[in-house]
A = this chain, B = another copy of it.
Amino acid sequence: VETVLAGRDKKVVISRNRPTILIGERINPAGRKRLAQAMRTGDLGPVGQEACAQADEGAEVIDVNVGLTDIDETALLPQAVRVVSQATGLPVCIDTSNAEALEAALAQCDGKPLVNSVTGEQHSLHRILPIVQQHGAAVIALVTDEQGIPQDADTRLRIAEKILVQAAKHGIPEEDVIIDPLVLSAGADQRASVTTLETIHLLAKELGVNVTLGGSNVSFGLPDRDSVNGVFLALAIAAGVTCPIVNPRSARRAALIADLLLGRDEFAMRYIAFSRRSRREPDLMSRR
C-alpha cells in the first residue's frame, strides 16, 4: 500500500517500493531541558529551528510533541504545529495523548498530517479514530491493548488487525493506518528485538501495511547506542519498516545504506550525495 501525507508545500509517499521516509523525533521535551524550558515560556523559536535542522538532515515528516505536565497542550500544540509547518513545509506528525489538543492541532494543519497515535484499547479507538477520519488524517497504531504490550508477535499482529477493522468501520482506509510494532530494550530482554523484528515481518507479509518504529528504545542501557540503533534500524527496514521515527542526524546513514542494499537507491545516487555532503559540511553534521 501507499500512504500519502501532505504538508503545506510537500507531499510524501510512504511505500515499500520507495526509499525509507524518516520521521524526525527531536521536537519532544522529554529529556531536553532547554527545549522544555522554551516550551514552558511559550517560546517556539527553538521548535522552528529544530524542525529546520531535522529537515536539513533528511527528515521528511516532523513529529511534534509538547507533552509536559505543566504545559497547556491544547493551547501550545496547535501553535507548535503551525510553526513547524510554516518553517519546513513538511507534513507533521501530531504526537499527543490528549484528544482535545489533537483536535485543536488538526484544525491548524495544512495538507494531510499523521496522528501519533491510537492503540488497540477501546477507549482510544472510540476517541481517536473519529477525529482522524473527520480531519482526513492518517494515524499511527500501537499494537498494545487493555492487557498491555503482548510478549509475542502473533498477538501483536492480531491487535494490528483489530485496529485496521475498527479504522475501516470509522471510514479510515487501510493505507491511512501505519502500524508501530513496538520495541523494548534489547539489553533487558534478549527476546525483545527478536519479537519486534518478527512482528514487522508478519505485518509486511500478512497485511502489507506501512510500518513505523520508534528507533531508539532498543538500545536503552547499552553502550554505543547509536551503533545499536543503526544496526537495528537496518534490520527493521529489511524486515518491512517504511517510516521509522528517529533522530535523522544519527539514523540517516544506516537508513540510506539499508535502502541501497535493498535495491531502493538506483546507482547509489542518494547514498553518494549524502556522503559528499557530510564530507563538505562537517560542522552541520556534528552540530547540536
Residues of A within 8 A of B (CB): 186-187, 190-191, 193-194, 197, 218, 222-224, 227-228, 230-232, 234-235, 238-239, 253-254, 257-258, 260-263, 265-268, 271-272, 275-276, 279
Note all chain B residues with C-beta closer than 8 A to A235: 234-235, 238, 258, 261
What's the minimum C-beta distance from A262 to chain B, rounded to whole angstroms? 6
Number of chain copies forming the complex: 2
State which of B218, B231, B262, B272 has its C-beta within 8 Å of the C-beta of A222.
B272
Main secondary structure of the interface of A (DSSP, over half): helix
Note all chain B residues with C-beta closer than 8 A to A254: 227, 231
State which of B190, B239, B253, B261 has its C-beta within 8 Å of the C-beta of A267.
B190
State which of B197, B231, B238, B268 has its C-beta within 8 Å of the C-beta of A186.
B268
* A261 to B225 alpha-carbon distance, docked (Å): 13
State which of B228, B238, B271 has its C-beta within 8 Å of the C-beta of A257.
B228
Measured CB to CB, the nearest residue on chain B to A260 is B186
What's the minimum C-beta distance from A267 to chain B, rounded to whole angstroms? 7
* A156 to B111 alpha-carbon distance, docked (Å): 48
